[in-house]
């Protein structure tokens, strides 16, 4: 199954900047162990986003918004129930929950607190990997219920030396 869609993401980070913006998702997945109403699936919901990057407002400083980017590549294993669990399932509603592992790369700006006036670095790229979890719901569309609309939340925690995470909310349509 294939899906496309868009959404919003936020990337909290420690002592750096928060980033948030719009994202686009292409989500291929393969369902197996299908039953009448359930299945297991493996998928790669690739997400790319454009971010507004800004500094930590708790310091009382505010760098003007600066454009950046974010790309997330998670490998997710999901348990699916109801609509969208398999092509043959004709239920109106469904949901899923899953876990996996993700790689994320994106733009960051770092503050240099040891310098007068909080000088800022030029944008540079940082990446991390870590566990990811997702949960969502699906609604079958149309009389024949061939198309599925999905609402998904994905959470990722970076575990490498550069530890930023991701909170993402997306709306997808399966075709």
Round to whole Å and give the CA distance between 21 and 16: 17
Q: Which domain holds residue 32?
A: 2-174
The total of other beta-carbon atoms located within 10 Å of residue 46's CB is 14
Helix H or strand E encompassing 155: strand 147-156
CATH number at residue 13: 2.40.160.20
Which pTM value belongs to this model?
Answer: 0.77
pLDDT tens digits for range 75-85: 999 999 999 88
The top-scoring range by mean pLDDT among 41-45, 123-127, 145-149 is: 41-45
pLDDT tens digits for range 92-116: 999 999 999 999 888 765 555 555 5
Do residues 21 and 49 touch, judged by C-beta distance below 8 A? yes
Count of domains for the chain: 1
Compare 81 and 11 and report the one with higher pLDDT.
Answer: 81
Residue 64 has pLDDT above 90, yes or no: no
């Amino acid at each position: 199954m294939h899906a496309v869609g868009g959404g919003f993401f936020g990337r909290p980070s420690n002592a750096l900047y928060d980033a948030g913006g719009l994202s686009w998702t292409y989500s291929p997945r393969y369902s197996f162990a299908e039953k009448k109403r359930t299945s297991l699936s493996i998928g790669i919901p690739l997400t790319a986003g454009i971010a507004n990057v800004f500094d930590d407002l708790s310091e009382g400083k505010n760098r003007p918004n600066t454009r950046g980017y974010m790309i997330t590549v998670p490998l997710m294993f999901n348990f699916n129930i109801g609509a969208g669990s398999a092509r043959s399932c004709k239920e109106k509603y469904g949901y899923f929950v899953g876990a996996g592992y993700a790689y994320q790369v994106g733009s960051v700006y770092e503050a240099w607190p040891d310098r007068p006036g909080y000088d800022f670095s030029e944008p540079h790229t940082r990446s991390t990997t870590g566990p990811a979890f997702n949960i969502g719901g699906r609604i079958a569309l149309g009389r024949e219920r061939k198309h599925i609309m999905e609402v998904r939340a994905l959470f990722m925690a970076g575990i490498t030396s550069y530890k930023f995470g991701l909170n993402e909310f997306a709306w997808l349509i399966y075709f």
